[in-house]
């Protein structure tokens, strides 16, 4: 196999938090030992509930925040470049190859900049094109995301949520990156607009040969757009497989519960299918787990699940699960 576009090894991010007066600070274990590879031209979907660490992981990949430990490589011009070892200037130069689209199209665009200057800013920063060429590039980008070039002189508030997300996508594509991180790109949008943006992302990927790291909490959306899907719980990947395999044969009890909880817009199906209702809420990410972090809510957990360490292991080709009961059954 050729070198993957992105490789992440053992990423850990702990945020220190005060535990109270006169007590040593504790750590929120937002990301707790995550590894994956992302082949060029593919889409890896990261799903999980709020607080599972998926957005932190995205920011670590782009080095918008520094990992506590772990390493990552991005393939640039065919050679892997270690992102976690780059000095600030080298990192700045590498950033053009990896861009991000944020969740909230209202907060992620500067209200005092015109659309033209928002989309043209990355090219201006990298100083590659003169003013006229930059203008032409901006027009081309706006057309690519389905907006009219004459909109370049308008301001973000003149656009709807879906249109703003198109502007955010155009900005991310300005420097022709190879990796685009999409952090919940459709969850702030109305249902009738979500499908427009998903369709646009798929077209752009095919046309420009992009690679996506797609983060979302909506399982149906992630399955729709991803080649491979990783499910996260409390800072760890608990299951990973191709989208078809994962949804046809979810093995981790958490994945199964998550899938059964995702509502299907069809009363005939929704009212007859079996639902797994989990007890309680996820435990605090400040907690340290000896064993499986899901054990406290798991419908099939045994006492040993809370004490024995658990690792992500392959139970079938291309299908990894972090559950001692499931991997025990497979062997």
Partner 1 sequence: MSALLEVSDLSVSFATDGRDVHAVDRVSFAIEPGEVLGIVGESGSGKSVSMLALLGLIPCPPGRVSGRAVFRGVDLLALGHEARREIRGAAIAMIFQDPMTSLNPYLRVGLQMTEAAVHRGASRADAHRRAAELFERVGIPDPGARLAHYPHQFSGGQRQRIMIAMALMLRPALLIADEPTTALDVTIQLQILALLAEVRRDTGCAIALITHSLGVVAGTCDRVQVMYAGRLCETGPTTDVFARPAHPYTRGLLASLPRLDQPRGRTLTPIAGQPPDLTRLGPGCAFAPRCSEADARCVAERPVLEPVDARGTGAASPRTLAACWRRAEERAR
Q: Does 231 bind partner 1 (CB under 8 A)?
A: no
H or E element in which residue 275 lies:
none
Nearest to 115 by CA among 128, 105, 104: 105
Q: Which of 5, 74, 257, 310 binds partner 1 (CB under 8 A)?
A: 257
Report the SS3 class of residue 193: helix
Outline where DSSP puts E strands in 42-119.
43-47, 69-76, 79-82, 98-101
Kindly give, in sequence order, each residue whose CB lies less than 8 Å from that of residue 227, ignoring residues fewer than 6 positions away.
42, 43, 44, 242, 243
Part in contact with partner 1 (CB under 8 A); list of ranges 2-10, 80-88, 137-145, 254-262: 254-262
Q: Which residue, 259 or 312, is less far from partner 1 as judged by CB?
A: 259
Residue at token pair 């699940």: 305
Does 198 contact partner 1 by CB under 8 A? yes
Q: Using DSSP, how many helices (H) and how many strands (E) does the chain show?
A: 11, 12
Nearer Cβ to partner 1, position 35 or 242?
Answer: 242
Instruction: Tell whether residue 196 is a contact of partner 1 (CB under 8 A).
Output: yes
| 72 or 219: CB nearest partner 1 | 219
| Helix H or strand E encompassing 188 | none
Which one among 10, 26, 49, 104 touches partner 1, defined by CB under 8 A? 49
Q: Does 223 bind partner 1 (CB under 8 A)?
A: yes
Closer CB to partner 1, residue 85 or residue 264? Answer: 264
Tokens of 227: 């080649």
Q: Write the burial class of residue 326 (CB in 10 Å: 0-12 exposed, 13-18 middle, 19+ buried).
A: middle
Residues 8 and 57: their CA atoms lie apart, in Å, by 10
Distance CA 11, CA 235 (A): 10
Instruction: Annotate each residue in 263-302 with x if it binds partner 1 (CB under 8 A) or - if it does not, as one string.
Output: xxxxxxxxx---x-xx--x---------------------
**Which of residues 136, 261, 300, 311 is near partner 1 by CB under 8 A?**
261
> Does 190 interact with partner 1 (rule: CB under 8 A)?
yes
The single residue among 62, 243, 323, 325 that binds partner 1, judged by CB under 8 A, is: 243
Output the smallest distance, CB 118 to partner 1, in A.
19
Q: Does 128 bind partner 1 (CB under 8 A)?
A: no
User: In Å, how far from its chain's centre is CA 172?
Assistant: 15
Quote the least distance from Cβ 125 to partner 1, whole Å: 31
Q: Which residue lies nearer to partner 1 by CB, 2 or 192?
A: 192
Interface residue with partner 1 among 16, 25, 199, 299 (CB under 8 A) is 199
| Contact status: 207 vs partner 1 (CB under 8 A) | no
> Are the beta carbons of 19 and 200 closer than 8 angstroms?
no
Task: Sketch the per residue contact string, 134 through 173, with partner 1: x for CB under 8 A, - otherwise.
Answer: --------------------------xxxx----------
Burial 55-85 (b: 16+ CB within 10 A, else e): bbbbbbbbbeeebbebebbbbbeeeebebbe
Q: How many residues bind partner 1 (CB under 8 A)?
A: 43
CA-nearest of 105, 176, 111 to 137 is 176
Question: Of 247, 306, 319, 330, which lies in the binding site for partner 1, with binding defined by CB under 8 A?
Answer: 247
Question: Is the CB of 74 or the CB of 232 nearer to partner 1?
Answer: 232
Rg (CA), the chain: 21
Q: Which residues bind partner 1 (CB under 8 A)?
A: 49-50, 160-163, 190-196, 198-199, 217, 219-221, 223-224, 243-244, 247, 257-271, 275, 277-278, 281
């Amino acid at each position: 196999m050729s070198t993957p576009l992105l490789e992440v090894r053992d990423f850990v991010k702990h945020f220190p938090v005060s535990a109270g007066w006169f007590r040593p600070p504790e750590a929120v274990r937002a990301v707790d030992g995550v590894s994956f590879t992302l082949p060029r031209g593919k889409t890896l979907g990261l799903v999980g509930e709020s607080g599972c660490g998926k957005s932190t992981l995205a920011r670590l990949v782009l080095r918008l925040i520094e990992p506590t430990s772990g390493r990552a490589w991005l393939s640039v011009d065919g050679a892997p470049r270690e992102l976690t070892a780059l000095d600030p200037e080298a990192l700045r130069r590498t950033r053009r190859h990896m861009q991000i689209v944020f969740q909230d199209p209202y907060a992620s665009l500067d209200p005092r900049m015109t659309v033209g200057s928002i989309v043209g800013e990355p090219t201006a920063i990298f100083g590659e094109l003169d003013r006229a060429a930059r203008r032409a590039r901006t027009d081309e980008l706006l057309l690519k995301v389905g907006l009219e070039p004459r909109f370049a002189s308008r301001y973000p508030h003149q656009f709807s949520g879906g249109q703003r997300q198109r502007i955010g996508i155009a900005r991310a594509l300005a420097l022709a990156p190879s990796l685009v991180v999409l952090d919940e790109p459709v969850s702030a949008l109305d249902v009738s607009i979500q499908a427009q943006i998903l369709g646009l992302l798929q077209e752009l990927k095919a046309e420009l040969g992009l690679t996506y790291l797609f983060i979302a909490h909506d399982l149906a959306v992630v399955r729709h757009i991803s080649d491979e899907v990783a499910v996260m719980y409390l800072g760890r990947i608990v299951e990973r497989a191709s989208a078809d395999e994962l949804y046809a044969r979810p093995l981790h009890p958490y994945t199964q519960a998550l899938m059964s909880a995702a509502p299907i817009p069809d009363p005939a199906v929704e009212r007859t299918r079996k639902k797994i209702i989990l007890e309680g809420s996820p435990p605090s990410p400040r907690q340290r787990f000896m064993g499986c972090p899901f054990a406290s809510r798991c419908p099939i957990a045994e006492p040993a699940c809370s004490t024995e360490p658990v690792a992500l292991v392959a139970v079938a080709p291309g299908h990894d699960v972090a559950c001692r009961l499931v991997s025990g059954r497979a062997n």
